[in-house]
Structure 1
Amino acid sequence: MSLIPTGRLFRTGAGSDLVLRRTFRASAEDVWASVSESERTARWFGPWEGVAAPGRTIKVQMAYEEGAPWCEMRVDACEPPHRLALSMADGHGNWRMELLLRETDGVTELEFVHHLDTEEGVGEVGAGWEYYLDMLVTAREGGARPDFGDYYPAMKPYFEKQRENDERRTPGEY
């Protein structure tokens, strides 16, 4: 299967943002539930445990990674149904992410932003987020779950090439 990557790398005053978007024929509240309720995140990313509130830490299982590891993730902001900001640290570095939802006429656009500390490894990271966001689409619409082998290493050159671009964006710009 040949998939077309959609993510874009933007420079900001604070570093770089990797931005990916998906569109859903659904209300923002419904899409919000898919990215914030444990039983629904389990369908495309993994379940989570704990009290999900700003400043609190939850445990998230990365159900589709080798060994299905659990990790701690901090809820940095939670503004239903429009903004969820999360962060975590692991052996691969710091992960600061935002999910921004905007609904117009019953169609919701999800903008996923990974605030990068470094652009090193963006080929792997970009392919991974394309995969997970397509998993979200599949979880919502039904159908066969995508195969990560269709994303990586095929998408790596696309994301590595993004490092050559010098597109700018203001942090928080939607």
Structure 2
Amino acid sequence: MADFIDDINAVHREVGRRRIPAGDGHVVVLSRRYEATLEDVWNACTTPERLARWLTPVTGDLREGGSYQLEGNAGGKILACERPHLLRVTWVFGENVTEADVSEVTLRLSAEDYGATRLTLEHASVGDPEFWDRYGPGATGVGWDLSLLGLAIHLADEPLPDKETFHTTPEGRSFVTDVSQRWRAAHVASGAPADAAERAAAATAAFFAPEE
């Protein structure tokens, strides 16, 4: 679990608000440094062959103004693509969605010293207020934490854990529980009451890694 602890500690998490076309939304922000070049990280995040290795297969017209679909996950339109620094997309999950269900994901990459890269991901969404009250930022944040962990393992050219069973392993449960608590802390830092943030973190952990 030591390596996963390092990955958990490597991510900076924030919670805020930002207006998007769907309305005034909540924003979760994750930022971490990868010991890989800017071009390598950009390619890992935008090349279908590499995305399939650490995230999920993607199809579509993969260019600015085009659209994409992640297998078994979200799809949307590509709003901006400025190689190798900026990718912004709409994020839509499911069918029969309303305008309020259309969220936005922004990925920013910047070069750092010693050939490393800083990745910052923002996910802004309006969504259902009751859902936010129940799960808080962790409902979105934990999913992205798992994705950034997968990216780190991929960039290190190491084997990824089985996505279907990771949450059932002791290491996977510990990862989800710890990250849920990190989002609790970010939630409180954004102004949320401590008791509400704790309940949301517990609900999030139970959602991602339910007890058998």
TM range (shorter): 0.7 to 0.9
1:128 corresponding residue in structure 2 = 143
1:157 corresponding residue in structure 2 = 181
Superposed CA offset, 1:5-30 (max 9, x none): 63422324534321112222332112
136-145 or 78-87: which moved more?
136-145
Which is higher, the Rg of structure 1 or of structure 2? Answer: 2
Kindly report which structure 2 residues correspond to 1:28-67, keeping only aligned pairs within 5 A, or say none.
28-61=38-71
2:13 is aligned with 1:8: yes
Q: Could you state the TM-score of these two structures normalised by the residue count of structure 2? A: 0.65
Gaps of 5+ in 2: 20-24, 192-212
Gaps of 5+ in 1: 62-68, 168-174
Contact between 2:79 and 2:88, CA under 8 Å: does it hold in 1? yes
Superposed CA offset, 1:23-56 (max 9, x none): 2233211211000000010111112122212221
1:117 corresponding residue in structure 2 = 126
34-43 or 91-100: which moved more?
91-100
Give the number of the structure whose residues are more often strand, by fraction: 1
154-163 or 21-30: which moved more?
154-163
SS at match of 2:176: coil
**Distance between the aligned counterparts of 2:186 and 2:16, measured in 1?**
11
Superposed CA offset, 1:98-139 (max 9, x none): 110001342211111111325813223211111110100101
1:58 corresponds to which letter in structure 2? Y
SS at match of 1:81: coil
Task: Give identity over the alignment, percent.
Answer: 26
Contact between 1:7 and 1:130, CA under 8 Å: does it hold in 2? no
User: Quick one: structure 1 residues 36 and 124, their matched pair in 2 at CA, closer, same or farther if it must change by over 3 Å?
Assistant: same
8-17 or 26-35: which moved more?
8-17
**Distance between the aligned counterparts of 2:153 and 2:68, measured in 1?**
25
76-85 or 142-151: which moved more?
142-151
Please tell me the root mean square deviation across aligned C-alpha atoms, in Å: 2.5
User: Quick one: structure 1 residues 54 and 18, their matched pair in 2 at CA, closer, same or farther if it must change by over 3 Å?
Assistant: same
**Distance between the aligned counterparts of 1:13 and 1:112, measured in 2?**
14
Contact between 1:102 and 1:109, CA under 8 Å: does it hold in 2? yes
Contact between 2:75 and 2:93, CA under 8 Å: does it hold in 1? no
Contact between 1:60 and 1:73, CA under 8 Å: does it hold in 2? no
Kindly report which structure 2 residues correspond to 1:29-108, keeping only aligned pairs within 5 A, or say none.
29-61=39-71, 69=72, 71-91=74-94, 93-105=101-113, 106-108=115-117
**Distance between the aligned counterparts of 2:31 and 2:176, measured in 1?**
19
